[in-house]
A and B are shown apart, each in its own frame.
Chain A
Amino acid sequence: MSLQLRSITKTFGPIVANDSLSLTIESGEIHGLLGENGAGKSTLAKVLSGFVSPDSGTVELDDEQLKLSSPSAAVSSGIGILHQEPLVFLDFSAVDNMLVGSPRDGNHTKDLAEEHLLKICEQFNFSIDPLIPVQKLSVGERQQLEIARLLWLGARVLILDEPTTAISGSQRENLFQTIRSLAEAGMSVIFVSHKLEEIQEICSRVTVLRQGRIMGTKHLPCPTSDLIDLMFDRELEPQGRKSSDSLGSICLELCGQKVTTHFESGKVDMTFRTGEIVGLAGLEGAGQRDLLRSIAGLDDTVTEGVFFRSRDIGDDSYIHRMQYGFHYLPADRGREGLVDGLTITEHVALASPQRSIATDWKLSREESKKIIDKFSIKGTPESVPASLSGGNQQRLLLGLIPDNPTVLLMEHPTRGLDIESAAWVWKYLMSLTEEGTTILFSSSDFDELMTYCDRIFVFFEGAIIQELASVEATTERLGSLLGGVK
């Protein structure tokens, strides 16, 4: 038995997410799909599980062409997917969860579901009470429940999409054990991940994707550096920005502060200097976002021990910290950064600290014209955010930062931007640091991190695992640290 993908192509507008991908996965094999964010592996997983229909290409299971028109069609063809965040119903009991959407025939009754669940639990050493509300199960247990369900519905191919992102270490061990037994029983498993260590640990072969293309398939184990070569461009060599001597006094201090994510926490002891650029490297959800938001004052679970110019600001709110010159730029610019339906001029008025009741719209319009000019935004003062491209939205957000920010907190400053815009953004940010702004930003773009940072903190699973001076950072070093290999 084998799963064959023949020239799968999927585009979203101008972006080619999957570029004519062909791949064979044998029965009993655990096959890794490796690549950084945006490499196209999630799209491929969605194509295989019927959530997205490809522009062209076919999928065959045992030489039989499959019609993957919908998720349920994929399941009845024998392909099941386990999502990062399992698509389960929180209010339902475990056994009811198995029943939703299962065929209404004699083989899929509630009693049989319960029987099957208990059998699977015994077989794989799970402990799920069939009647427990799913709400009370951990994410790891919800995954186990989904696996049990997919097996019950006759899945022969199991796709796991970043399955370890939200589960604890012991749950991961359990999951890996389960996957191995499933493969031994003849199942094909596709393991989608960007964690090198896990791929090495569990997979027998791995296919590496980069920018929608297959860069190569390797038998495992193989040297990690080979995988990193396939994953990342290696053209850039480290180039530290400047020596730390030229930096100013200590601007921001964090001590004893916890960086909390939903599953792990760690202690932090960091100082940031005036004019410094610090990169927070890590995969999505590794904790960088939590750190940025807690410094901004948005996350009220983390407050203790934040000092700004030796002054304890731990209890100060987001609005209060804005007055100290803190500024936070979220990753989701359209949803969290800009107010759709308001014009650029209105955004300018919103961001400016005008005190009078009647807004001076003439002034705001002049101001917005200046910003449009200075930041080369393709739009007019009357444009609304929806009509701007991602790059122009980011330029606008930068333009809205009040004068002389002290601490700038940015998520993915150049994500979704073309090369020219990205370079422009960084030129502007560097000019801000000349005037004394401290910049902290999260990114998974190695070029950006190595080119512009004074220091880099690497996050892995909710904790900082390494601090690097920019001269120490190489693509290889960062790649393995991001994957959790020290």
Chain B
Amino acid sequence: MEAATVAIIIASSTPLVFAALGETLTEKSGVVNLSLDGSMLLSAMTGFASAYLSGSVEIGLCVAMFTSATVASVVAFAGIKLRLNQIAVGLVLTYFATKASALFGGDFVRKPGPSIQKMSIPGLEEIPFVGEAVFQQNPLVYLSIVLGFVLFVFMFKTRRGLDLHAIGDRPEAAFSRGINVNLQRYVYTILGGALVGLGGAAFSLDAKMGWSDGHIANYGWIALAIVIFGGWHPLRAMFGCYLFGLIQVSALELQPVLPDLAQVLPIAPFPLMIVALVFINLRVVHSVTDRLGSIGSLIRGRAPSGLGESFWPD
């Protein structure tokens, strides 16, 4: 594979990386934010619109993060405080945010707007292959990669990360150790939502420059699937995103080879990704991975035990 292709895969997967990392953070704390498909669309729209109006990409990114964080806070409030079913709330918000993005984004459809500029990294860009593949990208791409590693360190090497696992896995035990379970769940849900918003903006300000109705529909669902595929592990989630990017690029490359399927190939990666997810989740496959010991547990992650359940101390 050529370095240029790798560069395209990395660049085109970047929005998904943000979204998958954000949702991983949220779900790790025990909350499911199922609204991703809608909140990414909405934040892509607000991000683009505000960047278009202000001329500043930075403002666009901030507004996008704020948008998605707001949607996430509704999920958190409804799930934690009102003890509503998080799936129900997530689905309704998906619908609402999707429609709202179309309604309020009407004025910005197919307008040329600002986008994030490339920024090669001096020195590193000279490295053969890797330089062209990784270090001639824009700052958002670097940020996504750094973020993956930062989250990995945070989750697995810090005390706060330990608390995060604790509240998602066994909230009653975390509470007995003096951790404010629900407060932290709010924080991680909103923080995760902000990252999802960054993912939305990364679409409209970079990967799929501009805004049109529903132009990134279904990517949110893929991000949700990748969180499971990645076993709630930030680096594996990143890997899942790049795998999806690879499938997408391959599908496009196949178009001239399979002209009969030319129209189907662009949408083929979506079912394929779900098929991969379904496959690793099949009970039959479980019984194999279980026998593989530590390698098996690398292939298959375990959901936080308290996922989707609200917790209230007596």
Contacts and interface: CB of A to CB of B under 8 A. Distances in A.
Interface of A: 51-52, 70-73, 75, 87-92, 96, 99-102, 104
Contact of B175 (A71, A88, A99): A71
B170 A72 contact: no
Nearest to B173: A87
Contacts of B159: 99, 104
Nearest to A104: B159
Interface string B158-188: 0100110110011011111111000000000
A119 to B, nearest CB: 21
Contacts of B176: 51, 71-72, 87, 101
B162 A96 contact: yes
B302 A71 contact: no
22 contacts: A51-B314, A70-B178, A71-B176, A72-B176, A73-B178, A87-B170, A87-B172, A88-B173, A89-B166, A89-B170, A89-B173, A90-B169, A91-B169, A99-B159, A99-B162, A100-B163, A100-B177, A100-B179, A101-B163, A101-B166, A101-B174, A102-B177
Contact of A72 (B165, B169, B178): B178
A91 B178 contact: no
A375 B144 CA distance: 67
A75 B178 contact: yes
A101 B179 contact: yes
Given A75-B178, A87-B173, A100 B314 contact: no
A100 to B, nearest CB: 5
B165 A91 contact: yes
Contact of B166 (A70, A73, A100): A100
A43 B158 CA distance: 36
Nearest to A53: B314
Secondary structure dominating the interface of B: helix
A370 to B, nearest CB: 38
Contacts of B165: 89, 91-92
B228 to A, nearest CB: 17
A307 B159 CA distance: 57
Given A99-B159, A99-B162, A100-B162, A71 B177 contact: yes
Contacts of A90: 169-170
Given A51-B176, A72-B176, A101-B176, 20 more contacts: A51-B314, A52-B314, A71-B175, A71-B176, A71-B177, A73-B178, A87-B173, A89-B165, A89-B173, A90-B169, A91-B165, A92-B162, A96-B162, A99-B159, A99-B162, A100-B163, A100-B174, A100-B177, A101-B166, A101-B179
Contacts of B177: 71-72, 100-102
Scoring A52, A91, A101 by chain B CB atoms within 10 A of each residue's CB, the highest score goes to: A101
Nearest to A101: B177
A102 B178 CA distance: 8
Nearest to B167: A100
B82 to A, nearest CB: 20
Contacts of A91: 165, 169, 302
Contacts of A102: 177
Contacts of A100: 162-163, 166, 174, 177, 179
Contacts of A72: 176-178
